[in-house]
Structure 1
Amino acid sequence: MEFCPKCKSMMFPVQGSSQCRKCGYVKEKEGKDESLVSKAERADREVTVLEGNIEQGLPTTTVRCEECGNNTAYWWLRQLRSADESETRFFKCTKCSATWREYD
């Protein structure tokens, strides 16, 4: 990324040179003929599937399970609503595996 030496705005690539959209300053390309844009193509998408005991890496907290009365549960956060709203906290009891959520 380059910046204009006159007005300090960002320079944009235009046909082998860089040009400032604010003041119009043009800087010719120097050196080798290298591309300013890199494009990569992904043929297949990989989906990670977690199987087995996923609780092994989750943190625990002290919270009371309404199902069995146990005081320890795993917890994790998920963004379920729009990005400007708070995350939803999920809990899973370490004893009976009951799952519930808590909203902030």
Structure 2
Amino acid sequence: MKKTRDGFECRKCGNMVHASTGIQTENMKKIERSSSIYVVDSSEDEYVKVSQVCPKCGNEEAFQWFSGISGEHAGIRRERTVEHFRCTKCSHSWSKTS
């Protein structure tokens, strides 16, 4: 509902509710839910497994991916590659900047 000088107007249908003293407003939204929700996470399938020691648990296998960072400081443009890792055992994440 959108507040106007005469009362409140529905944004979807344009129905107008005229204001009078003692009006209370409530925001409610009805959500219909299905009986089951399935979450499929394929993010680990997208990464390569490499030999890398986890600094937290000592596991010797981790997922690896890269990202690029670019920026400028004092007029000098610089681009860096960041190597990211996530432990296959404890899910701890860390990175190395090159």
- Relative contact order (C-alpha < 8 Å, sep 6+): which is higher? 2
